[in-house]
Each structure stands twice: as C-alpha cells, then as structure tokens.
Amino acid sequence: MKTLENKTAIITGAGSGMGKAMAILFACEGANVIVSDLKTERVDAVVKEIISAGGKATGVAVNVSKEEEVKKMIDTAMNTYDGLDILVNNAGVMDDFIPVADVSNELWNKVIGVNLNGPFYTCRLAVPLMLKRGKGVIINISSIGGLNGARAGAAYTASKHALIGLTKNIGYMYGTKGIRCNAIAPGGVTTNIMEGANPNAFGYERMSGGFATNIRMAEPNEIAELALYLASDKSSFVNGTVIVADGGWTAY
C-alpha cells in the first residue's frame, strides 16, 4: 500500500518549485492532490503531469491572500474527493530584502497576505473539516528566515516568524483531536521564488554576509520528501514543531 493511499491533500503554490515536487510525490504515493497556484498555466501543467503518470489531481487557480478564493479551493477538495486529510501551505512570496524603514504598505500587505493570511484562511477552514474526521495533517512551509533575522527583509522575516507561531498554536490546541501541525524551515532551495526580484541594495548587502556559510542549495524534491514524512503516519508523534532543512547552514 502506498504511503498516502486514498488520502486527499491540498498543496498551495504547487505550480513550481517545492510545491510542484510535493504535488507530484504525494500523487505518486497515492494521494488525491488539489494542485493550487496563482498561475493557471502552471496548475494545468502539473495536473497534466500527475495524471499522465497515473495519479489523481485536480487544479485550482487561487490567490491565497483572498479568503473567497481559499474557500473555493477547500470546496473543490470536498466536492471532488469528499474530504481533506492533508493541507500544505507552501505558497509564498519574497520581499526584495527591504529593511523596515523602506517597507511600503503595499509590499507589507502583499507579503503578509500571501505568507501569513493565506495559511490562516486555509487552516481556519480546514481544521473544522479535520475535526469531523477525527484526524488531519497540516504542514506550513516557513523558512530559516522564520527563525533568524538575516535571511530576508522585514516583511518576509515577520511573516515566517508568525507562521511558526501559528503552527505551534494549532499543533498544541488540536493535538488531542487527532490533528497534527508542523512547519518546515528550508534554507536555500533552487526554486523560482526570486523570479522578477529587485533586491534592495542595503538590505541585500546586510543579509548576504552569511552566504559563504551555506554548504549548498537544496533541490525541491529534498524538501518534498520531508513533507511526505510529515504528511504520513510515520511521523505520528511529531506535532507542533519546526524541522529545519538547510544542509547545516544555520549550524554555523
């Protein structure tokens, strides 16, 4: 029997990078996957790849910072697969390494909207469904920027710290109800999250001092394998915590 046989998983930001790797791996392990991403063409491509390989997937174009679109995504899981077992909040945006004195309201609201409000909206809708089933798994993709102050700008750093707090609260509050909630804090991963970036010169200079201590970048599938472990029953006693996957970068 496959690891996630007959389980339904929602993965946000699944059109590329870590989210795409998770969607493909989860489907390969038997899950019904809701592929969610902002860009329709990326959603369609991942769904096609999964189905071509014999897996089950349904795509939904979603801006997770908009509550009504998140509800549509949750409803799709319920209407298509009659349940929700796994939620992976992977969608995220960077902030051009902008320090607090230069952060605009527009940038702040965008980053907090995607990186924090999005997971809040999804969790608020998913937890009642999981409570009815008596079980469920939530995985929030944070960052080593959620544990340290020199990996991004003010908005991204704040959003990822807050996501870890949300993770721990959910894990503790609902741990007796069969729901587990954990976070992954990746280091550098070869994704397109910096696509279209315009780094702030001062912010980039301040945070780049630690680049030399990074042993290597991860491939998206290395993070996907960790997510699979957390989504599976093999991690049944892992709850309310953060697993760092950075190749030893923050060990320095």
Instruction: Give catalytic residues, as residue numbers.
Output: 156
Parallel/antiparallel/unpaired status of strands 56-61 and 32-37: parallel
85 close to 137: Cβ distance less than 8 angstroms? yes
- Residue 229: which residues within 8 A CB-CB, separation 6 or more? 235
12 close to 37: Cβ distance less than 8 angstroms? yes
15, with CB counted inside 10 A (0-12, 13-18, 19+), is buried
Residue position matching structure tokens 């496959």: 2
Single out the residue of 20, 23, 26, 36 nearest to residue 6, CA to CA.
Answer: 26
What separation in angstroms does the CA of 162 have from each of 64, 65, 142, 197?
16, 15, 9, 23
- What is the four-CA torsion angle of 234, 180, 14, 94, rounded to 10 degrees? -120
Q: Is 66 helix (H, G, I), strand (E, B) or coil?
A: coil
208 close to 147: Cβ distance less than 8 angstroms? no
160 CB neighbour count, 10 Å cutoff: 26
Amino acid identity, position 173: M
- Residue 79: which residues within 8 A CB-CB, separation 6 or more? none
